[in-house]
Amino acid sequence: MQLLKSCSAKVGYKMNGGNGHNPHLTFINPPKRVVSLVPSISESIIELGIGDRLVGITDYCPDPSGESDLIVKVGGTRSPNVEAIADLKPELVLANQEENSLEIVEELEKLGIPVWVTFPKNVDDAIQILWVIARVFQIEKTAAPRLTHLERMLDWTRRASFMAPSIKVFCPIWQGENEQAGLWWMTINQETYVDSVISISGGENIFKMRERSYPLEADLGLAQAEKTGDRDTRYPRVIVDEVKALSPEVVLLPSEPYSFGEEGKEQVLNSLEGTPAVQEGKVFLIDGRLLTWHGTRLAHALTEVPTYLNLD
């Protein structure tokens, strides 16, 4: 196999808005030794029938064989073992801008290992990445029916959500506590994949226009904000009063990246007492993979997430 062109770490992080559609990722023959540092992409590779190409995955990826001794675990998504990856002699490493660090990508590329960095910001980006996977691995013919069906599901869901009034949704993805401000949550704005899934499902993210401020105290309204510069503003931190003022009708508490669980749900119910979501019993624990895992998992999201927003 010969690699014709590959995206570098820096190009991969910026290319085409970061959606992962990289026309320069071209192989003469499909890669047979692949390391995936992205759980959702590992799942997609497996479900598209090419899990046998994976020689390395993270501790959080599904195992294509079901037997951990048949594939190498290379560590976590943020700090995988670069030496272990290099020892696998991969022809391609699959990474993601949000889940993997730029430093890791650059280390791999210094070793001459091709890295494809994806960064889907919406459901359409996610589907495009699946089509690129099909092209790179030369499985367009077998993958086309599934991907075409996924596109039709997306179109149908989009039309259905357009016909109905939007439901005001609050979706925290992390929480913490400040001595002065009290309980706070990290949430998402309209530049995120999570927001796209909620929107396509018929929800309106109440913080879609909210940008993150720095430092934390500024985001919580306790200090003057610094200039943002190149820092990420897509994940604002909000306090209880800010959430209550926007009267969410549904609250979605995902199991990842922060696992809320029953205790977390009870805390939210107490904190947001008086909001429509709490009054109407619409605070839900939800599988976080439906909101954060792009790829073939999108098919499950399009089926399941709307049900949380359309319960009478």
**pLDDT tens, position by position, 74-108:** 999 999 999 999 999 999 999 999 999 999 999 99
The DSSP element (H or E) to which 307 belongs, if any, is helix 298-309
**Is 48 within 8 Å of 143 (Cβ atoms)?**
yes
pTM of the model: 0.88
Domain count, the chain: 2
251 within domain boundaries = yes
Clarify whether residues 228 and 293 are in a common domain.
yes
Clarify whether residues 16 and 131 are in a common domain.
yes
Clarify whether residues 49 and 142 are in a common domain.
yes
**End of a domain among 155, 174, 197?**
155
Structure tokens at 276: 């429509």
**End of a domain among 155, 178, 200?**
155
Span 164-187, average pLDDT: 94
Clarify whether residues 146 and 171 are in a common domain.
no
Average pLDDT, the chain: 89
Clarify whether residues 19 and 126 are in a common domain.
yes
pLDDT of residue 24: 52
pLDDT tens, position by position, 188-230: 999 999 999 999 999 999 999 999 999 999 999 999 999 999 9
269 within domain boundaries = yes
Report residue 311's pLDDT band, with 50, 70 and 90 as the boundaries. Answer: low
102 within domain boundaries = yes
160 within domain boundaries = no
**Is 69 within 8 Å of 94 (Cβ atoms)?**
no
Q: Which domain holds residue 49?
A: 3-155
Span 30-56, average pLDDT: 95
pLDDT of residue 67: 55
